[in-house]
A and B are shown apart, each in its own frame.
Chain A
Amino acid sequence: MNLHEFQAKKILAGYGVPVPDGGPAETAAAAERVARGLAGKRYVVKAQVHAGGRGRAGGIKIVDSASAVGKAASELLGQTLVTEQTGPEGRRVRAVYVEEAVKSERDIYIGVLVDRQAGKVSLIGSVEGGEDIEARAAAKPGIIKTLLVNADGGAAKGAYEEFAKKLDLTGALAKKAASLFQGLIKAFVQIDASLIEINPLAVTPGRELLALDVKMVLDDNALFRHADFREMHEKDELDPVEMEAQANQINYVRMDGDIGVVVNGAGLALATHDMLSDAGGSPANFMDIRTTASSLDIAAGFDLLLTNPNVEAVLVNVHGGGMQRCDTIAEGIGISMKRSDCSVPIVLRFAGNNADYGRNLLGNYGISYVEARDMRDAVERVIALVRSEAA
């Protein structure tokens, strides 16, 4: 679950990470009010969307008066912001964050995530921060430093200060950075984050550290122990179709092809996309039916696929496992086809657990389908079908 900058900053401030004064606003008037309550004379107005690259996309404005804050906010609010991380559809701006503009002498990059290979929490830093951090790191890999930390947030005594020194933070700044890192890691562990990124962490002319921008992603699998965060969940964070699928135990991604794809398991789904694409086909969606999906869940997922007007044919490639069997999936497809009264051609390839039973069930629902012998046959048949539709 992605958090907005204003939510993330509020959380980090609670762990002693210094952030500029500021506040969120959903209207221009509210933004102006926030600005009047701040001490400085220059303000930053930032679009609150779940994506990086806002600066380059025009989502951050620096202005010199509270009334100009209101004007900047009215320009941003309601706008759809397209950044390099949003995809072409962009993200609608529903809130802005107004804060004091801060002079930075140096921009540092700080990130925290779980290093999957080491199986530890990893603190990442770079002496050079900013939005083009990836390009800088690609050119000079040596600028990226890491420190592995235990799940209790513990690091060897002095490790955080050592880490600060690797980022060219010395003397009093190294001590301030060490305590900031400690707070940051504590926050990461206590809120079950999967990513916290401070970019940039500014060194101000007054030799203070300030987190100017924060990105925070929480581990969805741990939300059961953070009831308070669930309220921050934004309903429209995901594509509505994908949200609906998620609610039905299905991972679904919309794509722009014409072959609807129904697969159980992410690995087989990825392999199916490879086979389709290699054979010249074009998937309309990615679908991975989880092992926990019931036949009604699957019916809801199949409904989503049928509502996609680009779908000319459907490829069902299911290998019934111990937990998700062919008959459950057949029943889901049967329910959905029956209630939609849809006649899209289906190429069906069932193997594994209860494959025969699944085919019989579909027959009982009166669903006609093209039966494929194996995966290769299924892929070839569905592509032939789509080509004949187009001809």
Chain B
Amino acid sequence: MAILVGSETRVICQGMTGRTASYHIERAMAYGTNVVGGVRPGKGGTRHLDVPVFDTVSDAVAGTGADASIVFVPPPNAASAMIEAIEAEIPVVVCVTERVPVLDMVRVKEALEGSRTKLVGPNSQGVLSPQACKLGVMSTVHERPGSIGIVSRSATLTSEIVAQTSAAGLGQSTTVGIGGDPVHGIGFVDCLQMFMEDPDTRGIILIGEIGGAEEEMAADYLKTQKASKPVVALVAGRHAPPERRMGHAGTLTLFGRADANQKIEALRSAGVHIAPNPYDVAETMRQSLE
């Protein structure tokens, strides 16, 4: 049944009446996503895209039985919207909003501690279980239902790998964009865990890039696991332009990390199959499944 979202998932949208949200929610509905309502303070009691609109998330949950939310609220209020969804105990929340202040995300992380919610994002293309549920803004051209779980820090590179796995006849169980921001909700490790436990997923593709330490943490996690499913990784940025920097603090917290080659080595030493280049990710997976 894939991970995070499936055909039974009941979706609400926070910030639903906005132009961008309306555009994407209409497409998600056309895709077959079970959108049951929206939230927009001050517009409670009205209808939009033929579903009821509520003033608050808890009203929407009470009125619709929603168990997933997608947040399109602009940056100044995005963190409050995420916290509202967390407090309403919605199990899966995707935040699409780009450019959320990082200290706002520190507050959101505090709200997440000990909560029931799995937050995906912000700055995420969302979660897609092909032909079942689209909780996101990704294009749906090349995806096919199948057996590969994809977790990624990059939206367009995900679309690329989705197309490859479909062409290779593997398809996808679920794709998850964990988002490009420094502080975000679930990470590679959470997704690896869920994919490992998901009976529909036969192999996992991890798409990483320079910066942060998600890849190293994924490697550390996989070292502790009896890998029952093959994991293939692509780490982009071996030839990235040099980064400008101010001061030393960034490097002091990341000693020995953040370089693409070091990430690749960490993953390789954890038994991950490294795709030699971005064209051959699906082929690497096909071979490792044999």
Contacts and interface: CB of A to CB of B under 8 A. Distances in A.
Interface in A88-108: none
B53 to A, nearest CB: 23
Interface string B161-184: 001000000000000000010110
Contact of A267 (B75, B155, B217, B238): B155
Interface of B: 20, 24, 27, 75-76, 98-107, 109-110, 125, 136-142, 152-160, 163, 180, 182-183, 207, 209-210, 212-213, 217, 234, 236-242, 244-253, 255, 277-279
A151 to B, nearest CB: 4
A194 B181 CA distance: 13
A216 to B, nearest CB: 8
Interface string A158-194: 0000000000000000000000000000000100101
B250 A268 contact: no
Contacts of B105: 119
A2 interface: yes
A144 interface: yes
A39 interface: no
Contacts of B248: 52, 109, 111, 133-134, 197, 199
A121 interface: yes
B142 A114 contact: no
A320 interface: yes
Interface stretch (A72-80, A221-229, A339-347, A381-389): A221-229
A64 interface: no
Contacts of B106: 114, 119-121, 150-151
A116 B157 CA distance: 22
A267 B178 CA distance: 13
Contacts of B159: 319-321, 351-352
B98 A292 contact: yes
A323 B89 CA distance: 29
Interface stretch (A13-21, A274-282, A294-302): A274-282
A153 B245 CA distance: 25
Given A114-B103, A219-B103, A270-B236, A144 B252 contact: yes
A275 B277 contact: yes
Interface of A: 2, 50-52, 85, 87, 109, 111-117, 119-122, 124, 126, 133-134, 137-138, 141, 144, 146, 150-151, 189, 192, 194-195, 197, 199, 215, 217, 219-222, 224-225, 253, 255, 263-268, 270-271, 273-278, 286, 290-292, 319-323, 325, 351-353, 355, 374-376
A192 B253 contact: no
Interface of A is mostly: mixed
Given A117-B217, A137-B252, A322-B136, A267 B103 contact: no
Nearest to B214: A117
Contacts of B249: 111-113, 124, 195, 197
A2 B246 CA distance: 8
16 contacts: A52-B246, A87-B242, A111-B249, A113-B249, A114-B102, A120-B106, A121-B103, A195-B249, A197-B248, A267-B157, A270-B210, A319-B156, A321-B159, A322-B138, A323-B125, A355-B141
Contact of A195 (B158, B234, B246, B255): B246
Contacts of B213: 116-117
A318 B76 CA distance: 30
Contact of B252 (A124, A225, A277, A375): A124
Nearest to A114: B102
Nearest to B154: A267
Given A119-B183, A319-B156, A375-B160, A291 B98 contact: yes
Contacts of A263: 156
B246 A270 contact: no
Contact of A111 (B104, B252, B277): B252
Contacts of A273: 237, 239-241
Contacts of A195: 246-247, 249-250
A116 B98 contact: no
Nearest to A194: B102
Nearest to B183: A119
A114 B182 contact: yes
Given A124-B252, A137-B252, A270 B183 contact: no
Nearest to B244: A87
Contacts of A109: 248
B38 to A, nearest CB: 18
Contact of A277 (B154, B160, B212, B239): B239
B139 A321 contact: yes
Contacts of A217: 246-247
A199 to B, nearest CB: 7
B207 to A, nearest CB: 7
Contacts of A85: 244-246
Contacts of A270: 154, 209-210, 236-237, 240
Q: Closest 10 A-B residue pairs measured CB to CB?
A: A267-B154, A265-B156, A111-B249, A119-B109, A222-B101, A353-B139, A270-B236, A267-B157, A277-B239, A268-B156
